């Protein structure tokens, strides 16, 4: 998995096609058919690292809202689930729970990438504690059962997501032990989210570079001022550092424990990169950066929204730091 | 480590062409050789003592052939490429051993010598690899810091010699170095980077005098070197006369990339040691987050510099983007040592324990990570100019 099997020319071509695909996608549109037309399944099978990173980077760049992340999770979960009756989505843990499904209890909370009505079934992961043993169970609910609990997100970002909260539906469709499928799914989703966050960062940084070169004050482009240049250079460093960690995370997917740790680290570093880059991109735009006259606010709020899914940077740092200080060894993650 | 070193099982040619086989053999050796304990958890009172001790480790690694991989046979090596060198540093650090101090400058000075002066490399590099001598890098001067091309130390051609006069400053390992690779002016004072030449000058040449300089920690990490009509044979030119800048730019690729990787392996070892030192005591709110963030920055440096090492090994030229590695390095180094200072609390300031003394000395050295080899500001300017392609800077 360490080698990229796609050559540079193919990669360029694919990037172009995926970019066009996102540009043409209507709001709330379904990515699936367009990807099928591109023969995406084949590309993803040949080189999952490059394909996933490319797809989610472009999604981040374009600020598109799709259910691509559901597909990433389901690729790991479907094999342990009964055959789907129609289309499926996955209920993501509520941000306060990080990448851990909420405890089994009378209430149910989480986030959906699209309203329940757009799919037939919803997979709900739940953490069960019995005799000190923690296990994850997967409940498959018919989508309409969750509809009364769903509310459109009214937050920082208008990604079209839906929060779910309320009394847990009493009779699940099916209940299946997840085994290691949930942790594998969460790791895969964290790698995808890291790519998407870095896609928003890349786009925002490019916009800032262009703006700084065009915008003139004191008779010259503001990009000639060192304070501006150095902020943008630091943004590049943060972006490239986080990209490096993400590529490393893809190189250790064969070892489940290492893969989980590295995926969380990639998500953490992407989360930190977006915090830094978005702060500087806004500053370089002046008033334009904080108003709806410009476009950068959309990257800021999307990156923030992506950051809190499946482990925000603060939560991940807290849990990884605690693990290292208390028990775990210190994993070098990146190999030569 | 004398005599008992069994040669690695697979033959040298296999190891030279197969870095992973080299890694496995090296790891087995480092994990089983009891005499290496001499270098574990050692704190040295002076820089001179440390580098001398490290040179002994280096000579042992040389006898076991381990530090010869990654260097060409003509220069005393056994073949292989940058990956072998990078693996050596990684495995030493993972095994709780220091990377021998002479290797730091070897990474910077060795590659340009091999590339631009193969005869000198054949003659002199084997001694370096054996730990018998180490060298310094004479670039900076009192008037030429960030603005390296302003340097004034002159070399005038006189028959078969250059006659060198002037001064170098802040030379790492300068107080104990046998030779100095110096960037000197052979063109006119105004020629900037066009009139420079690289010379390899013996420190015991008549007319060369060296004065140690203590870092704020009190350790003589640096030196200043004076040249008073020192005669240096013309065959000691590294590259062509007037071609010094080209050599310096080639050298900087290794200084920025290999040094970054090497430092990342050491940083990870030090983070592990810090964890062991503070693990038992109660930590404060926010310590876990800080620890994870520093760790993440070290891994980012590793990930990025590993890719750069692989590119160097494939023969590619690493351009201005190496400044990304350099800034990541500075972030990781300052972050790690600030973390140690915070977590050790009062002990950092007051304790006479050797581990505290070590962190204090290292903390001072870590402050240099945003200064030496091109400051963080200089690196950001390189990135703004050549990677982001922003319009050139003007002063307001
Ligand atoms: C521990 C250590 C080891 C060293 N080892 C060696 C060695 O082995 N060989 C060697 O030749 N040299 C060595 N040096 C010297 C080092 O390379 C120089 O210190 C460095 O190039 C900076 O030069 P300076 O110290 O004169 O700082 P200055 O150039 O005076 O810079 C001072 C400050 O001004 C800033 N500044 C300068 N120019 C600009 C600009 N254009 N834009 C924005 N900010 C600017 C700098 O970033 C810095 O913050 C070492 C230094 C240290 C600290």
Nearest to B387 among A234, A236, A241 (CB): A236
User: Looking at this predicted complex, what is its ipTM?
Assistant: 0.95
**Between chains, do A330 and B271 touch, taking CB under 8 Å as contact?**
yes
> Average pLDDT for residues A51-73, to the nearest whole number?
96
- Please indicate, yes or no, whether residues B275 and B364 belong to a single structural domain of this protein: yes
For range B158-181, the mean pLDDT: 97
For ligand 1, atom 23, the nearest C-alpha belongs to B145
Q: Give yes or no: residues B37 and B71 share one domain.
A: yes
Please compute the mean of the pLDDT values over residues B62-87 and round it to a whole number. Answer: 97
Domain-located, residue B3: no
The alpha helices in chain B, defined as continuous H runs, are 12-17, 19-32, 47-63, 82-94, 102-116, 118-129, 244-278, 287-313, 322-344, 346-350, 354-367, 376-382
pLDDT value at position A1?
40
Separation of alpha carbons A35 and A33, rounded Å = 5
Ligand 1 pocket: which of B371, B381, B393 to mutate (most atoms within 8 A of CB): B371
Q: Are residues B174 and B101 in the same domain?
A: no
Pick the atom of ligand 1 nearest to B377's CA: 47
What confidence score (pLDDT) does residue B9 get?
A: 59
B85 and B196, same structural domain? no
Q: A81-178: which CATH topology?
A: Butyryl-CoA Dehydrogenase, subunit A; domain 2 (2.40.110)
Q: How far apart are CA B376 and CA A225, in angstroms?
A: 16
Assess whether the C-beta atom of B186 lies below 6 angstroms from ligand 1.
no
- The reported pLDDT for the residue numbered A142 is 94
Higher pLDDT, residue A174 or A95: A95
Query: DSSP letter at A223?
Result: G
Query: What is the per-residue pLDDT across B40-59, written as a single tens digit (0 to 9) for each?
Result: 989 898 999 999 999 999 99
The pLDDT > 70 percentage for chain B reads 96
Does residue B276 carry a catalytic annotation? no
Residue B143 neighbours by CB under 8 Å, 6+ apart: B150, B151, B152
Partner B contacted by A215 (CB < 8 A):
no
Across the interface, do A245 and B297 touch by the CB < 8 Å criterion? no
DSSP label at residue B95: T
- The 3-state DSSP class for residue B373 equals coil
Q: Which residues of B37-58 are buried (b: 16+ CB within 10 A; e: fewer)?
A: eebeebebeebeebbebbbebb
**Domain containing B254 — which CATH number?**
1.20.140.10
Nearest C-alpha to atom 12 of ligand 1 is from which residue? B140
Give the end of a domain, one of B214, B242, B270.
Answer: B242
Q: Is residue B392 part of a domain?
A: no
Residue B300 in contact with ligand 1 by CB distance below 6 A: no
**B359-363 long-range CB contacts below 8 Å, 24 or more apart?**
B359/B274, B360/B217, B361/B215, B361/B217, B361/B218, B361/B219, B362/B270, B362/B337, B363/B217, B363/B337, B363/B338
Contact status, residue A22 vs residue A58, Cβ threshold 8 Å: yes
Question: How far is Cα B140 from Cα B146, in angstroms, rounded to an integer?
Answer: 8
CATH classification of A182-326, choosing from 3.90.1410.10, 3.20.20.70, 3.40.50.880, 1.20.140.10?
A: 1.20.140.10
Reading the block at residue A263, the tokens are 């995926």
To probe the interface with B, which of A209, A246, A321, A324 has the most B CB atoms within 10 Å? A321
Question: Residues A310, A260: contact at Cβ < 8 Å?
Answer: no
CA distance B346 to B141: 38
Residues of A in contact with B84 (CB under 8 A): none
Report the 10 Å Cβ neighbour count for A123.
26
pTM: 0.96
pLDDT band, residue A217 (cuts 50/70/90): very high
Question: For B305-341, how does the pLDDT look when each residue is reduced to its tens digit (9 = 90+)?
Answer: 999 999 999 999 999 999 999 999 999 999 999 999 9
Q: Which residues form the domain of B300?
A: 245-387
Domain positions in chain A: 8-62, 81-178, 182-326
pLDDT of residue A163: 94
Answer yes or no: do B51 and B113 share one domain. Answer: yes
Spatial separation of the C-alpha atoms in residues B314 and B223, rounded to whole Å: 36
In this structure, is residue B92 part of a structural domain? yes
Tokens of A194: 């890291």
More confident residue, A155 or B134: B134
Give the up-direction half-sphere exposure of residue A5: CA atoms within 13 A in the CB hemisphere.
10
CB A165 within 8 A of CB A64: no
Question: Which bin fits A31, alpha (ψ -120 to 50), beta or left (φ > 0)?
Answer: alpha
User: Binning pLDDT at 50, 70 and 90, where does residue A154 land?
Assistant: confident
| CB neighbourhood size of B296 (10 A) | 27
Q: Domain for residue B1, yes or no?
A: no
Q: Are B124 and B159 found together in one domain?
A: no
Are residues A230 and B381, on separate chains, in Cβ contact within 8 Å?
yes
Q: Summarize pLDDT for B190-223 with one digit per residue, the tens.
A: 999 999 999 999 999 999 999 999 999 999 999 9
- Among candidate residues B91, B255, B353, B393, the one labeled active-site is B255
For residue A53, is pLDDT > 50? yes
Cα A61 to Cα A44, A273, B74: the distances in Å are 20, 15, 50
B235 and B270 assigned to the same domain: no
Residue A23: count of CB within 10 angstroms of its CB:
11
B76 in a structural domain: yes
Place of tokens 């989505």: A89
Chain B contacts of A233, Cβ < 8 Å?
327, 379-381, 383-384, 387-388
Res A113 pLDDT > 70: yes
Last residue of a domain, one of B133, B150, B168: B133
Q: pLDDT at residue A4 above 80?
A: no
Question: Does residue B396 carry a pLDDT above 60?
Answer: no
* Residue B326 maps to a domain: yes
Of B187, B212, B242, the last residue of a domain is B242
Please count the structural domains in chain B.
3
Three-state DSSP class for A15? helix
Residue B185's beta-bridge partner residues? B154, B196
For ligand 1, whether the C-beta of B228 sits within 6 Å is no
Whether B3 shows a pLDDT value over 70: the answer reads no
Q: Could B289 and A223 be called an inter-chain contact, meaning their C-beta atoms sit closer than 8 Å? A: no
What is the per-residue pLDDT for B13? 75
- Cα separation of B100 and B106, whole Å? 10
């Amino acid at each position: 998995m360490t080698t990229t099997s796609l050559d540079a020319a193919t990669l360029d071509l694919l990037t172009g096609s995926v970019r066009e695909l996102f540009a043409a996608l209507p709001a709330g549109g379904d990515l699936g058919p367009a990807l099928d037309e591109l023969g995406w399944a084949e590309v993803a099978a040949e080189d999952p690292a490059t394909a996933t990173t490319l797809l989610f980077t472009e999604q981040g760049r374009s600020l598109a809202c799709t259910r691509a992340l559901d597909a990433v999770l389901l690729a790991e979960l479907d094999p342990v689930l009964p055959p789907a009756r129609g289309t499926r989505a996955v209920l993501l843990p509520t941000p306060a729970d990080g990448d851990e499904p909420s405890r089994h209890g009378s209430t149910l909370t989480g986030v959906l990438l699209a309203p329940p009505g757009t799919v037939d079934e919803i997979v709900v992961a739940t953490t069960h504690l019995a005799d000190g043993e923690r296990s994850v169970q997967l409940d498959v609910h018919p989508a309409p059962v969750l509809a009364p609990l769903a509310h459109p997100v009214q937050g920082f970002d208008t990604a079209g997501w839906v929060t779910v909260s309320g009394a847990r539906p009493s009779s699940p469709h099916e209940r299946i032990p997840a085994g290691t499928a949930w942790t594998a799914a969460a790791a895969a989703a964290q790698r995808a989210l890291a790519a998407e966050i870095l896609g928003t960062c890349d786009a925002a940084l490019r916009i800032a570079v262009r703006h700084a070169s065009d915008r003139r004050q004191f008779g010259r482009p503001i990009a000639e001022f060192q304070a501006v240049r150095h902020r943008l250079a630091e943004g590049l460093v943060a972006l490239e550092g986080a990209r490096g960690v993400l590529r490393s995370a893809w190189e250790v997917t064969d070892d489940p424990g290492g893969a989980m740790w590295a995926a969380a680290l990639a998500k953490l570093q992407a989360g930190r990169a977006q915090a830094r880059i978005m702060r500087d991109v806004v500053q370089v735009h002046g008033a334009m950066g904080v108003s709806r006259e410009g476009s950068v606010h959309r990257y800021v709020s999307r990156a923030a929204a992506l950051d809190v899914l499946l482990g925000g940077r603060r939560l991940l740092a807290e849990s990884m730091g605690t693990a290292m200080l208390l028990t775990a060894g210190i994993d070098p993650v990146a190999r030569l | 480590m004398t005599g008992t070193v069994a040669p690695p099982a697979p033959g040298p040619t296999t190891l030279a062409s197969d870095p992973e086989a080299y890694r496995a053999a090296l790891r087995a050796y480092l994990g089983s050789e009891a005499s290496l304990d001499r270098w574990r958890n050692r704190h040295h009172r002076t820089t001179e003592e440390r580098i001398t001790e490290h040179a002994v480790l280096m000579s042992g690694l040389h006898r076991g052939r381990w530090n010869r991989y990654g260097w060409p046979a003509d220069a005393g090596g056994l073949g292989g490429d940058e990956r072998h060198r990078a693996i050596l540093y990684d495995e030493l650090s993972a095994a709780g051993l220091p990377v021998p101090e002479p290797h730091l400058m070897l990474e910077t000075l060795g590659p340009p010598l091999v590339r631009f002066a193969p005869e000198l490399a054949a003659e002199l590099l084997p001694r370096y690899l054996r730990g018998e001598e180490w060298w310094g890098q004479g670039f900076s001067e009192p008037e030429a810091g960030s603005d390296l091309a302003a340097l004034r130390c002159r070399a005038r051609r006189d028959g078969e010699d250059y006659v060198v006069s002037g001064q170098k400053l802040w030379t790492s390992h300068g107080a104990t170095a046998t030779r100095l690779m110096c960037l000197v002016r052979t063109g006119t004072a105004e020629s900037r980077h066009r009139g420079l030449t690289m010379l390899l000058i013996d420190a015991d040449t008549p007319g060369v005098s060296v004065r140690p300089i203590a870092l704020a920690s009190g350790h003589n990490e640096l030196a200043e070197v004076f040249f008073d009509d020192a005669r240096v044979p013309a065959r000691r030119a590294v590259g062509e006369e007037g071609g010094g800048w080209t050599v310096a730019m080639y050298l900087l690729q290794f200084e920025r990339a290999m040094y970054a990787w090497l430092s990342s392996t050491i940083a990870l070892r030090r983070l592990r040691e810090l964890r062991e030192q503070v693990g038992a005591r109660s930590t404060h709110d926010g310590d876990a987050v800080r620890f994870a963030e520093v760790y993440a920055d070290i891994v980012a440096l590793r990930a990025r510099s590993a890719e750069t090492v692989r590119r160097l090994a494939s023969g590619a030229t690493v351009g201005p983007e190496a400044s990304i590695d350099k800034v990541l390095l500075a972030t990781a180094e300052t972050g790690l040592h600030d973390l140690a200072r915070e977590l050790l609390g009062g002990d950092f300031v007051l304790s006479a324990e050797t581990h505290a003394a070590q962190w204090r000395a290292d903390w001072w050295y870590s402050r240099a990570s945003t200064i030496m080899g091109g400051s963080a500001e200089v690196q950001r300017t390189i990135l703004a100019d050549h990677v982001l392609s922003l319009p050139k800077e003007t002063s307001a």
